[in-house]
Amino acid sequence: MSHTRRLVIAAALVATACGAPSIEVQPVDTSPTDGGAVQFDIREISAENRDCGEENGRCARVRVVYPETTGGSTEAVRENIDLFIGHDLVSRMRGFVSEDVGNGIGDTEGLAAAFLAQHRAFIAEFPESAAEWSIDIEAKIIFNTPEVTTIDIAEFAYTGGAHPNSRRRLVSFDVATGQHLGVEDLTTDIDTITAMVERQLRIDRGLGADADLEAAGFWFPDEGFTLPDNLGITSDGVVFHWDAYEIAPYSMGPTDVIVPAGELAEFIDRKYW
């Protein structure tokens, strides 16, 4: 095992306007794994308006934590993983700023600054508003072996409205090829896996085999239960995830279904556990 690297990097966006943000990027220690597994450092970007600490300050904050590859596998695989994570973070951040501004910014730090500037502009236009805005995105490694790396990207944000919103994305990579693994890469029998996931969902929600999913509050297309594209390999098995509003109302929350690895053994093409 190679030695753990400790990096401390600080970068600031220097601004003259009152309430402009400062942004620090600080990689955090993480221990490399054995064998051919991909190795990572964890980086954090944090930003807030300078009036966040003031009494009755109208605050906006951004926190983004993500892994960056440092070794293991091959350079091409590491580059593929880093590009995927970087694209995902930028895409998410662009969703929180106006399109004309966001499309011209290609990095997370710049989008964080744009988000805080947008909040300041909102408060200037609506000074009576006490709205506090926040974005918290954390991408973490939840499974990492010489065969597969799984990243869990969780987003929690509030920019006004009735309630905060959250999203979660799971993505697994084949460490040998850098390929993003979908269900079709794991099994030759998608119909059987679909039935297994539906059965587990019913068990998790206390529904009988013949219970009407629509009557239980779920939304599925006319053809019936379908798998999500959002899934990841973990030590326990494969996790299938739907965000709130995807197949059920916000009040029912997100939906996770785990199919144990042991139950999948005879249906998968390759063994990742």
- Tell me: the pLDDT tens digits for 52-71? 766 666 889 999 999 999 99
Listed by start position, the domains of the chain span: 22-174, 183-264
CATH superfamily of 183-264: Heat-shock cognate protein, ATPase (3.90.640.20)
Distances (CA, A) of 7 to 11, 23, 27, 171: 13, 17, 6, 26
Handedness of CA 94, 97, 99, 103 (dihedral sign): negative
Query: Residue by residue, what is the 3-state secondary structure of 65-79?
Result: EEEEEEECCCHHHHH
Six token digits for residue 121: 């502009």
- Give pLDDT, residue 265: 78
Residue 30 pLDDT greater than 60, yes or no:
no
Distances (CA, A) of 68 to 39, 74, 86, 254: 8, 14, 9, 27
Cβ–Cβ under 8 Å, residues 81 and 69: yes
What CATH class is the domain 22-174? alpha beta
Six token digits for residue 191: 């119909």
- Give pLDDT, residue 268: 75
Average pLDDT over residues 245-264: 91
Average predicted confidence (pLDDT) for the chain: 84
pLDDT in tens, 195-212: 999 999 999 999 999 999
Average pLDDT over residues 181-195: 90
Residue 117: count of CB within 10 angstroms of its CB: 19
Half-sphere exposure of 205 (CA within 13 A, CB side): 24
Query: Structure pTM?
Result: 0.84
pLDDT band at 8 (very low <50, low <70, confident <90, very high): very low
